Amino acid sequence: MKLYTSVLIILLLMIAIPDLFFYLKLKRKDQKEIYVIFHLIPALLFTGMFLYIKFGLELSHNFRVVAEIMWLYFFFLVIYISKILHVIFYFLNYLFRLIFHHDDIYFNYARFILTGLVIGYMAVSAYITPRNYDVTNVQVEIPKLPASFDGYKIVLISDAHLGSWNKKFGKIKKVVKLVNEQNPDIILFAGDMVNNFASEAEGWQPYFRELNSKSGNYAILGNHDYGDYADWKSQKDRMDNRLKIKQAIRNFGFRLLLNEHVYLKKGSDSILLAGVEDWNKNKAANYCDINKALAGSSSETPKILLSHDPTEFDLEIAGKKDIALTLSGHTHAGQMGFRIGDKLYSPSSFIFKYYAGLYKVNEQFIYVNRGIGFIGLPMFIGVRPEITVITLKVPVK
């Protein structure tokens, strides 16, 4: 869990500004020193936590630490958003008093009501929404799709981030049930099975093994599946961890596609499914080789590509490769957003051109799945984790 310096500064300001305000108020009221010290305990706790994340977290190989830090982030926001709201309403009341020369009790009512609503909404976003999966159905017309594949049903999931679930195995049961209820021809996983460590995958095998499809389950690796977000004692340790993650995914019942392709068959007809390793703009962390993944394939065969990061689509796929449909994850739709009609608006749109749902670029499609797990914060605000059902259709002439 990387913490950028700019984000660290913002978080420390979120602590310093309201706590300085409350400190000065307590001092003016001549409160006992013990109350002043007690008031500063959360500030010291969270400041220490953020400094540890920035400078020490990469040294820890205990995935449970990351899971616990996510929840500390949540409680930090609950506490400090409430404090910031108090400061805002205090100064609104102060301005009101300057103008009208008296206080207004309704500022207090508004402060308590708004704070309660914010805390309640955050609690729902953390304890209910992450377990409330959205099953999204889309149809995609694939050029040159053989008639026997008309109605072929793909169930796409991604971004489990198992370490974030902290061995709470019951959470995957609902995912398995919902996926199997779709009666899929094939199940695809678009990367990020874990956060960083192979130990996160221990104990999950019996549950993933219950995923059933007619034609097999396939997966690719995401950026978190390489173990690159930790400081390893040696390159051998890094590679051993990576090999164990790959083997765990295979043990879950997935055929892992590592810059390679397979043919999906129905009778005498076939389509091609390719999977690339993670693409990254940083060449040192770019494991993708799309040319290798498509080597030996015919341009006449309809192609579907699993690519974890949708950023790759414009740079290597759109208008450059004869791939009809690209399936990605990675963005989580920012785990935050709101809908107006059918359109989802999310902060992730400032980072990713394709961040959630289906997009058409000329005759090619890309679908970005929001993921079934979380990272960073243990919550989904205004959006839900997603299981996608993609039905392939022969184009209507």
Q: Are residues 212 and 115 in the same domain?
A: no
| Position 310 pLDDT exceeds 90 | yes
| Position 314 pLDDT exceeds 80 | yes
Q: Are residues 157 and 122 in the same domain?
A: no
Q: 337 in the Ramachandran plot: left (φ > 0), alpha (ψ -120 to 50) or beta? A: left
Percentage of the chain with pLDDT > 90? 76
Q: Are residues 99 and 160 in the same domain?
A: no
Q: Are residues 285 and 341 in the same domain?
A: yes
Rounded to an integer, the average pLDDT of 215-243 is 95
Q: In degrees rounded to 5, what are phi and psi of residue 151?
A: 90, 5
The region of weakest confidence among 95-109, 111-125, 156-170, 190-204 is 95-109
Q: What residues form DSSP beta bridges with 68?
A: none
Higher pLDDT among residues 263 and 27, named by residue: 263
Measured distance CA(127)–CA(271) in Å, rounded: 41
Q: Are residues 252 and 197 in the same domain?
A: yes
- Secondary structure E strands in the chain: 134-141, 153-157, 186-189, 217-219, 255-256, 260-266, 269-275, 303-306, 325-328, 338-340, 343-345, 357-361, 364-368, 386-393
What are 120-154's pLDDT values in tens digits?
999 999 999 999 999 999 999 999 999 999 999 99
Q: Are residues 276 and 218 in the same domain?
A: yes
Q: How confident is the model at residue 113 (pLDDT cuts 50, 70, 90)?
A: very high
Rounded to an integer, the average pLDDT of 57-82 is 92
Residues 6+ apart with CB under 8 A from 41: none
Task: Find how far residue 58's CA is from the centre of its chain.
Answer: 20
Q: What is the mean pLDDT of the chain?
A: 92
Counting every residue written for the chain, the total comes to 397
Of 83, 109, 127, at which residue does a domain stop? 127
Confidence at residue 235, expressed as pLDDT on a 0 to 100 scale = 95
Confidence at residue 31, expressed as pLDDT on a 0 to 100 scale = 64
Confidence at residue 1, expressed as pLDDT on a 0 to 100 scale = 66
Confidence at residue 65, expressed as pLDDT on a 0 to 100 scale = 92
Measured distance CA(390)–CA(377) in Å, rounded: 28
**Burial of residue 313 (number of CB atoms within 10 Å: 0-12, 13-18, 19+):** buried
Task: Residue 191: name the closest of 316, 278, 261 by CA.
Answer: 278
* Total tally of structural domains belonging to the chain: 2
CA distances from 183 to 177, 180, 187, 189, 268 (A): 10, 6, 10, 16, 22
| Position 30 pLDDT exceeds 80 | no
Q: How confident is the model at residue 100 (pLDDT cuts 50, 70, 90)?
A: confident
Measured distance CA(282)–CA(264) in Å, rounded: 33
What are 331-372's pLDDT values in tens digits?
999 999 988 887 888 999 999 999 999 999 999 999 999 999
Q: How confident is the model at residue 119 (pLDDT cuts 50, 70, 90)?
A: very high
| Position 104 pLDDT exceeds 80 | no
Rounded to an integer, the average pLDDT of 305-325 is 95
Rounded to an integer, the average pLDDT of 157-178 is 94
CA distances from 374 to 171, 277, 329, 352 (A): 12, 21, 12, 18
Domain extent at residue 216 = 134-393
- Tell me the CATH number at 143: 3.60.21.10
Q: Are residues 266 and 147 in the same domain?
A: yes
Q: Are residues 232 and 289 in the same domain?
A: yes
Tokens coding 347 = 């902060």
Q: Are residues 147 and 119 in the same domain?
A: no
Task: Find how far residue 381's CA is from the centre of its chain.
Answer: 12
Of 102, 127, 152, at which residue does a domain stop? 127
What are 257-307's pLDDT values in tens digits?
999 999 999 988 999 999 999 999 888 889 999 999 999 998 889 999 999
Q: How confident is the model at residue 29 (pLDDT cuts 50, 70, 90)?
A: low
Task: Residue 391: name the closest of 364, 367, 355 by CA.
Answer: 367
| Position 9 pLDDT exceeds 70 | yes
Q: Are residues 109 and 161 in the same domain?
A: no
Helix (H, G, I), strand (E, B) or coil at 349: helix
The DSSP annotation for 306-336 comes to E-S-TTHIIIIITTTS--SEEEE-S-GGGGB
Of 99, 127, 155, at which residue does a domain stop? 127
| Position 69 pLDDT exceeds 90 | yes
pTM value is 0.92
Q: Strand 303-306 to strand 260-266: parallel, antiparallel, or no bridges (unpaired)? A: unpaired
Number of Cβ within a 10 Å radius of residue 396 = 5
Measured distance CA(124)–CA(73) in Å, rounded: 16
What are 41-51's pLDDT values in tens digits?
889 999 999 99
Q: Are residues 49 and 143 in the same domain?
A: no
The secondary structure element, H or E, covering residue 372 is: none
Confidence at residue 343, expressed as pLDDT on a 0 to 100 scale = 83
Q: Are residues 78 and 211 in the same domain?
A: no
Tokens coding 236 = 């051998």
Q: How confident is the model at residue 316 (pLDDT cuts 50, 70, 90)?
A: very high
Measured distance CA(83)–CA(65) in Å, rounded: 26
Q: How confident is the model at residue 384 (pLDDT cuts 50, 70, 90)?
A: very high
Q: In 128-169, where does DSSP find H-type helix?
A: 162-165
